[in-house]
């Protein structure tokens, strides 16, 4: 169990740090970004035009990213056989190095007890990311997405709870604080992946996740490109 798993406990009593803070919640990550732009508009009179333009640009980039992710996911073909350990987790993905891997993929904080594989990677600037790989049915995926939302959508425990996706979508994303935890689920028939970190954004996790999926796919070199540079401008 990593330090993140120790700190990320949905069963703990509310702490003095979290109880006094007003909850900030949204059913969609895009709406959360829009709310931030609205705050800029209200606070900076002279920058209204720029803030509106940036907000529209951000939303357009998000829509484009969703479309590119879906094309990537539809084209993705799973490994030809069952991969384990070093076969499943490459020593380096993007700027992250493999720290260790094990067969303890369960994640009690989200009540996930499916068998699978787990790995920890660390980026060049010291940020850790946990990767959980499960073989799951669509019914199991929907149940995990549903109870993840229920567990984390709790203003008594988390001052911030932001979500993107639903049991009906391929991907489901969350961010909570405090304690900081960001996670992205991805699903393709038979495969459920969770990538999570206490130090990375959903966008950074997305990029790491796409690198991992390409590394294990039969057709990894032929998958549609996701334009991360344009999405992060």
**pLDDT score, position 38:** 41
Give dist(CA 144, CA 138) in Å, integer.
Answer: 10
| Percent of the chain residues past pLDDT 70, beyond the cut | 73
Q: Give the pLDDT confidence of 14-55 residue by residue, as tens digits.
A: 333 333 334 445 445 444 444 444 434 444 444 555 555 456
The per-residue pLDDT for 192 is 98
Q: Residue 231: is its pLDDT beyond 90? A: no
Tokens 């703990």 belong to residue: 12
Q: How large is the average pLDDT for residues 136-161? A: 97
Terminal-residue alpha carbon distance, the chain: 36
pLDDT, residue 84, reads 80
Other CB atoms within 10 Å distance of the CB of residue 46:
7
Neighbour-count burial of 86, counting CB atoms closer than 10 A to its CB (0-12 exposed, 13-18 middle, 19+ buried) = exposed
Q: Which residues are bridge partners to 120 per DSSP?
A: 100, 130
Q: Which pLDDT score, from 0 to 100, does residue 47 have? A: 55
3-class state of residue 56 by DSSP: helix
Rounded to whole angstroms, how far apart are CA atoms 84 and 94? 20
Q: What is the SS3 assignment for 55? A: helix
Among 78-87, 140-149, 178-187, whose mean pLDDT is lowest? 78-87
**pLDDT, tens digit (0-9, with 9 covering 90-100), for 75-118:** 999 998 888 888 999 999 999 999 999 999 999 999 999 999 99
Q: What is the pLDDT of residues 150-177, one digit of tens each?
A: 999 999 999 999 999 999 999 999 999 9
The C-alpha angle 101, 102, 106, rounded to 5 degrees, equals 120
Q: Does residue 191 sit in helix, strand or coil?
A: strand
At 60, is the pLDDT very low, low, confident or very high (cuts 50, 70, 90)? confident
pLDDT for the residue 8: 56
The domain segmentation of the chain, as residue ranges, is 3-28+82-225
Domain 3-28+82-225 annotated CATH 3.40.1000.20: yes
The whole-number pLDDT of residue 54 equals 57
Q: What is the pLDDT of residue 15?
A: 36
Residue 163 CA to residue 17 CA, distance in Å, equals: 22
d(CA 214, CA 93): 10
- How confident is the model at residue 41, as a pLDDT? 40
């Amino acid at each position: 169990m990593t330090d993140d798993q120790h700190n990320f406990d949905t069963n703990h009593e509310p702490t003095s740090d979290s109880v006094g803070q007003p909850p900030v919640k949204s059913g969609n990550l895009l709406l959360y970004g829009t709310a931030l732009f609205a705050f800029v508009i209200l606070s900076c009179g002279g920058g209204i035009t720029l803030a509106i333009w940036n907000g529209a640009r951000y939303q357009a980039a998000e829509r484009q990213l969703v479309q590119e992710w879906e094309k990537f996911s539809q084209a993705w073909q799973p490994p030809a056989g069952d991969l384990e350990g070093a076969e499943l987790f490459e020593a380096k993905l993007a700027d992250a190095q493999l720290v260790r891997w094990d067969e303890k993929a369960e994640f009690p904080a989200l009540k996930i007890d499916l068998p699978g594989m787990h790995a920890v990677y660390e980026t060049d600037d010291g940020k850790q990311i946990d990767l959980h790989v499960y073989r799951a049915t669509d019914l199991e995926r929907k149940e995990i997405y549903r109870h993840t939302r229920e567990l984390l959508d709790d203003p008594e425990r988390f001052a911030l709870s932001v979500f993107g996706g639903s049991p009906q979508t391929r991907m489901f994303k969350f961010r909570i604080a405090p304690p900081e935890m960001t996670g992205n689920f991805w699903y393709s028939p038979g495969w459920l992946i969770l990538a999570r970190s206490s130090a990375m954004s959903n966008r950074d996790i997305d990029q790491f996740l796409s690198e991992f999926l390409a590394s294990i796919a039969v057709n990894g070199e032929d998958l549609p490109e996701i334009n991360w540079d344009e999405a992060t401008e």
